[in-house]
Amino acid sequence: MAWFSVPRPLAVLLALSLFGDAVVGIQLDLTSETSIKQVASTIAFDMMSYYKGNLSGQTPGLLPGPPATPQIQNAGYFWWEAGAMFGSMMDYWYYTGDATYNAVVSQGMLFQTGDNDDYLPTNQTNGMGNDDQSFWGMSAMTAAELGFPNPPADKPQWLALAQGVYNVQAGKWDNTTCNGGLHWQAFSFLNGYNYKNAIANGGFFNIASRLAVYTGNDSYAQSAERTWDWMTSVGLIDEDYNVWDGASSLTNCTPIVREQYSYNSAIYLLGAAHMYNYTKGSAIWQTRVEGMLTATITNFFPNGIAYEKICEAKPSTCTIDMLSFKAYLTRWMAAATKQAPFIFDRVLAVLQTSATAAALQCSGSPADHPNGRMCGLSWSLGAAWDGTSGVGQEMAAMEVIQSNLIQQSKAPLTANTGGTSSGDPNAGIGDTSTTTPGGVKPITTADRAGAGILTALVAAVILGGLAWVSMPEKILS
């Protein structure tokens, strides 16, 4: 093979191995706290290099790139992923103590709250899913729990923002179809509204259970219970604790779409762990936590290495969203050990094997980051970089690696144990945009074409049992 025909990443690897002892990729020593923090710092830097929202002329809180369309799936990052990324940067600060990015994170979190401080900014109306809103709400909740620096007094506070999201979504619980549940999309005029799914209900369950622990207010726990009960009643959580993707509300939520995503499993694991903690270690929530953990490990950790089984096999069919799911899988598993310490050993074991594999996979040199250390997603491939790079892959590698510090990190705060974030139980209530959203742009012909494709796909999947995997999770966002 001629040197010039060697693919660039391979060329870098070869060059480094032929010329001297230069180390390829990222070296991680899990027995050293310093090593874990250094690696997390490197990956945080690389991840944040994609974020331009703090530069002049840019919009704080948005990741760059044109919105993805059915034609160009991986063209850019959706709004929700930026909210998720800020949450991962709060984790980064929690695990490492490095406050370098805190101001940038706060700026983005506070710029996107929307006019009613419930993460429904009008610019995002045309693609707003309840799950999208939840990802920002969960990051606000994380800020309250971790004691992330409070916003200035004239700005909305972290706890109140999470309560705003909770209140808006509690008002959208819909008993008229499927006996309950939340729709996927936030507004009835959006395509995808007639889909009730695991992630939309999981976001609500997750926030409700965490608010119950943080505030001690039983209303939140009752909502969490009701959501879990609904999920099991329609079979989206089955008796083996598999979490299935969703079902059409037009057909009374039957049949269900039997596809599994790692973040769905983990969002329920973390919520269940909070309910276990809230109920002071009740047997019923212990059983659910155990069951959900076992299913999570069985489904998503073959050989102990996290694997996004719906799309990761070569050739990868992961959408830009799916490339980030392992970040939430691993961060939520780690966080669950704080609420339900009895699962610690089982969680740490797979976080260790996965972190080691993830660090090896950080060996890429894509054209936009030719540094020999960009992370792929296919951790099972060892040091042979899978050829992909981006925010999701960096976030996933950072979370799984820094999560190995969970044992020595402080317990999340509650209002009773030093949490200082101010709440507002009525936040978000009366937000008229939830019924008559403002800022709705006229639907263009292109939107209609895209929407038609989505409708056709959803119909085909639900009626015909076509492979769901061919449909990007967030085609419309």
Ligand X SMILES: *[C@@H]1O[C@H](CO)[C@@H](O)[C@H](O)[C@H]1NC(C)=O
Q: How far is the CB of 395 from ligand X (least distance, A)?
A: 14
3-state secondary structure of 129: strand
Q: Cβ distance 360 to 385 under 8 Å? A: no
Spell out the alpha helix ranges (H) of 64-111.
79-96, 102-111
Structure tokens at 110: 């506070």
Q: Cβ distance 261 to 244 under 8 Å? A: no
Q: How far is the CB of 282 from ligand X (least distance, A)?
A: 9
Sign of the torsion formed by the C-alpha atoms of 151, 157, 162 and 164: negative
Question: Taking CB under 6 A as the criterion, which residues in 225-244 touch ligand X?
Answer: 226
3-state secondary structure of 243: strand
Q: Which one of 38, 217, 317, 422 is in contact with ligand X (CB under 6 A)?
A: 217
Q: How far is CA 42 from CA 66, 81, 328, 371, 388, in A?
A: 27, 20, 19, 11, 18
96 binds ligand X per the rule CB under 6 A: no
Q: How far is the CB of 311 from ligand X (least distance, A)?
A: 29
Nearer to ligand X, 54 or 422 (CB): 54
Nearer to ligand X, 101 or 241 (CB): 101
Q: Which one of 196, 288, 338, 373 is in contact with ligand X (CB under 6 A)?
A: 338
Q: How far is the CB of 427 from ligand X (least distance, A)?
A: 9
175 binds ligand X per the rule CB under 6 A: yes
Cα 248 to Cα 378: distance, rounded to the nearest angstrom: 32
Nearer to ligand X, 41 or 217 (CB): 217
Question: Taking CB under 6 A as the criterion, which residues in 41-80 touch ligand X?
Answer: 48, 51, 54-55, 59
Q: Which one of 42, 96, 112, 378 is in contact with ligand X (CB under 6 A)?
A: 112
Q: Cβ distance 128 to 120 under 8 Å? A: yes
281 binds ligand X per the rule CB under 6 A: yes
Paired with 267 in beta bridges are none
Helix (H) / strand (E) containing 247: strand 246-248
Q: How far is the CB of 384 from ligand X (least distance, A)?
A: 30
180 binds ligand X per the rule CB under 6 A: yes
Helix (H) / strand (E) containing 257: strand 256-257
Nearer to ligand X, 262 or 389 (CB): 389
3-state secondary structure of 28: coil
Q: How far is the CB of 401 from ligand X (least distance, A)?
A: 19
177 binds ligand X per the rule CB under 6 A: no
Sign of the torsion formed by the C-alpha atoms of 211, 78, 91 and 297: positive
307 binds ligand X per the rule CB under 6 A: no
Paired with 374 in beta bridges are 364
Cα 286 to Cα 283: distance, rounded to the nearest angstrom: 5
Nearer to ligand X, 128 or 457 (CB): 128
Q: How far is the CB of 81 from ligand X (least distance, A)?
A: 14
9 binds ligand X per the rule CB under 6 A: no
Q: Which one of 64, 65, 304, 341 is in contact with ligand X (CB under 6 A)?
A: 341
Q: Cβ distance 135 to 202 under 8 Å? A: no
Angle of CA points 155, 159, 164, to nearest 5°:
80
408 binds ligand X per the rule CB under 6 A: no
| Residues in contact with ligand X, shown as a per-residue x/- string from 118 to 137 under the rule CB under 6 A | ---x-x--------------
Structure tokens at 174: 């819909």
Q: Which one of 78, 93, 101, 379 is in contact with ligand X (CB under 6 A)?
A: 101
422 binds ligand X per the rule CB under 6 A: no
Where are any strands of DSSP class E within 293-445?
Answer: 362-364, 374-375
Paired with 364 in beta bridges are 374
State the helix-helix crossing angle for 218-233 and 262-278, rounded to 10 degrees. Answer: 140
Phi/psi at 300 (5° precision): -120, 5
Of 34-42, 273-281, 317-325, 346-354, the window that binds ligand X (rule: CB under 6 A) is 273-281
420 binds ligand X per the rule CB under 6 A: no
Of 83-91, 252-260, 332-340, 398-406, the window that binds ligand X (rule: CB under 6 A) is 332-340
Q: Which one of 280, 314, 315, 408 is in contact with ligand X (CB under 6 A)?
A: 280
Number of shown-chain residues binding ligand X (CB under 6 A): 26
Q: How far is the CB of 290 from ligand X (least distance, A)?
A: 13
Cα 185 to Cα 213: distance, rounded to the nearest angstrom: 27
Of 9-17, 234-242, 335-343, 398-406, the window that binds ligand X (rule: CB under 6 A) is 335-343
Q: How far is the CB of 53 from ligand X (least distance, A)?
A: 8
C-alpha torsion 219→221→227→231, nearest 10:
-160
Sign of the torsion formed by the C-alpha atoms of 466, 467, 470 and 472: positive
Catalog residues that contact ligand X under the rule CB under 6 A.
Answer: 48, 51, 54-55, 59, 101, 104, 111-112, 121, 123, 173, 175, 180, 217, 219, 226, 277, 280-281, 338-341, 411, 425
